[in-house]
Amino acid sequence: MSEAPPGLNEVLKRTFSFPKRHFLSATDLNEVEVADLLDLADGFVSLNRQTSKKLDLLKGRTLMNLFFENSTRTQSSFELAGKRLGADVVNMSPRSSSISKGETLIDTAVTLNAMQPDLLVVRHSSSGAASLLSQKVTCSVINAGDGQHEHPTQALLDALSMRRAFGRIAGLKIAICGDVLHSRVARSNVSLLQMLGAHVRLVGPPTLMPPQADRWGCEVFHDMRKGIAGCDVVMMLRLQLERMDGVMAPSQREYFRFYGLDREKLAHASAGVKVMHPGPMNRGVEIDSDVADDLSVSLIQDQVEMGVAARMAVLTALAQRLDNG
Amino acid sequence: MSTRPQAFTNVRLVDPASGYDGPGALLVTEGVIADVVQGGAPQNLSAEVEVVDGRGALLLPGLVDIRVKTGEPGAETKETLKSAALAAAAGGVTSIVVQPDTNPVIDDPSVVDFILRRARDIELIHVYPAGAATKGAAGERMAEIGLMREAGCLYVTDADRPIVNSKVFQRVLAYAKAFGVLVAHRPADPWLSSGAAATAGEFASRMGLPSVPAIAEKIMLERDLALVEYTGASFLVDQVTTAGALEALQRGRDKGLPVTATTSINHLSFNEIDIGDYRTFTKLDPPLRAEDDRQAVIEAVASGLIQIVVSAHAPAPAEDKRLPYDEAAPGAVGLQTLLPALLTLHHEGRVPLIDLIRTVTSGPADLLGLPAGRLAKGAPADLVLCDANAPILVDADKLISKSKNSPFDGRRLQGRVLRTLVDGRTVFQA
The pLDDT assigned to A324 comes to: 67
For Cα atoms B58, B64, B66, give the angle at the middle one, nearest 5 degrees: 150
- CA distances to A10, A164, B185, B359 from B130, in Å: 73, 66, 12, 19
Q: What is the pLDDT of residues B266-288, one digit of tens each?
A: 999 999 999 999 999 999 999 99
Q: Which of residues 206-225 of A touch B (CB under 8 A)?
A: 210-213, 215-216
- What are B199's strand-pairing partners? B212
Q: Read off the pLDDT of residues A80-101 as tens digits, 9 standing for 90 and up.
A: 999 999 999 999 877 654 454 4
Q: What is the pLDDT of residues A266-275, one digit of tens each?
A: 999 999 999 9
Does A150 sit within 8 Å of B208, measured CB to CB? yes
Residue A1's Cβ-count burial label (10 Å; 0-12, 13-18, 19+) is exposed
Classify residue B428 as exposed, middle or buried by CB count within 10 Å of its CB (0-12, 13-18, 19+).
buried
Could you report the predicted ipTM of this complex, rounded to two decimals?
A: 0.88
CB nearest A211 (choices: B201, B325, B326): B201
For residue B213, give the chain A residue with the closest CA. A211
Give B213's contacts in chain A (Cβ within 8 Å).
211
* pLDDT classification of A16: cutoffs 50, 70, 90: low
Beta strand A62-67 pairing with A140-146: unpaired
Distance CA A235, CA A172 (A): 12
Q: Is the CB of A131 less than 8 angstroms away from the CB of B278?
A: yes
Best to test chain B binding among A132, A151, A237 (most B CBs inside 10 Å): A132
Contact B325 A210 (CB under 8 A): no
List Cα–Cα distances, B80 to B77, B93, B122, in angstroms: 7, 16, 11
A142 DSSP assignment: E
Output the pLDDT for position A325: 57
Q: Identify whether B210 is preceded by a cis peptide bond (ω within 30 of 0).
A: no
Helix H or strand E encompassing A11: helix A6-13
DSSP string, A57-122: TTTT-EEEEEESS--HHHHHHHHHHHHHTT-EEEEE---TTTS-THHHHHHHHHHHHTT--SEEEE
Mean of pLDDT over chain A: 91
Q: How far apart are the first and last CA of chain B?
A: 23
Mean pLDDT in residue range B70-88: 97
Q: Is the distance from CB of B95 to CB of B362 less than 8 angstroms? A: no
Band of the pLDDT at A231, cuts 50, 70, 90?
very high
**Would the pLDDT of B83 be above 90?**
yes
For the stretch A299-303, contacts whose Cβ atoms lie closer than 8 Å and that sit 24 or more positions apart, written own/partner, are: A299/A161, A299/A162, A299/A165, A299/A274, A299/A275, A300/A275, A300/A276, A302/A161, A302/A164, A302/A165, A303/A157, A303/A158, A303/A161, A303/A276, A303/A277, A303/A278, A303/A279
Whether residue A40 is predicted with pLDDT greater than 60 in this model: the reply is yes
* Residue A93 pLDDT: 76
Place A15 in a pLDDT band, splitting at 50, 70 and 90.
Answer: low
State how beta strands B93-98 and B126-129 pair.
Answer: parallel
Closest CA in chain B for residue A101 = B327
Q: Name the closest residue on chain B to residue A216, using Cα atoms.
A: B202
Q: Is the peptide bond before A210 cis (omega within 30 degrees of 0)?
A: no
β-strand partners of A64: A90, A120
Cβ-in-10-Å burial (0-12, 13-18, 19+) of A60 comes to exposed
Packing angle between helix B291-303 and helix B243-254, nearest 10 degrees?
A: 30
Q: What is the rounded distance in angstroms from the CA atom of residue B124 to the CA atom of residue B120? A: 8
The answer to whether A123 and A71 have CB atoms below 8 angstroms apart is yes
Q: Residue A52 to residues A4, A5, A83: CA-CA distances in angstroms?
A: 9, 11, 12
CB neighbourhood size of A8 (10 A)? 21
Q: What is the pLDDT of residue A243?
A: 72
Is A250 within 8 Å of B237 (Cβ atoms)?
A: no
**Does pLDDT of B366 surpass 90?**
yes
- B222 has pLDDT over 90: yes
Within 8 A of A69 by CB-CB distance, chain B residues are none
B208 and A127 within 8 Å at the Cβ level: the answer is yes
pLDDT tens sequence across B237-266 = 999 999 999 999 999 999 999 999 999 999
Between chain A and chain B, the number of residue pairs with CB atoms below 8 A apart is 73
Name the residue facing A149 among B208, B319, B323 (closest C-beta): B208
Specify the pLDDT at position A11: 84
pLDDT in tens, B306-335: 999 999 999 999 989 999 999 999 999 999
Element (H, E) at B176: helix B166-178
Query: Is residue B43's pLDDT more than 50?
Result: yes
**What gap in Å lies between CA A38 and CA A36, rounded to an integer?**
5
Closest residue in A to B329 (Cα) is A102
Nearest CA in chain A to B205: A210
User: What integer best gives the mean pLDDT of chain B?
Assistant: 96
Nearest to B278 among A128, A187, A215 (CB): A128
The predicted pLDDT at position B321 comes to: 93
Which residue, B103, B157, B169, is CA-closest to B129?
A: B157
Residue A95 CB partners (closer than 8 Å, separation 6+): none
How open is the CA angle B10-B11-B13, to the nearest 5 degrees?
Answer: 140
pLDDT tens, residue by residue, A278-289: 989 999 889 999
Would you state the torsion angle of the CA atoms of residues A20, A26, A29, A32, taken in this order, to the nearest 10 degrees? 130
Structure confidence at residue A321 as a pLDDT band (50, 70, 90): confident
Q: What is the pLDDT of residue B312?
A: 98
Amino acid letter for position B170? Q
Range B387-396 average pLDDT: 96
Chain B residues with CB under 8 Å of A147 CB are: 208, 324, 326
C-alpha A230/C-alpha A273 separation (Å) is 9
Q: Which pLDDT tens digit goes with each residue over A144-160?
A: 999 999 999 999 999 99
Instruction: List the one residue out of A307, A295, A318, A312 whose CA is nearest residue A5.
Output: A312
Residue partners of B303: CB distance under 8 A and separation at least 6:
none
Distance CA B68, CA B85 (A): 10
Residues of A with CB below 8 A from B205's CB?
Answer: 210-213, 216
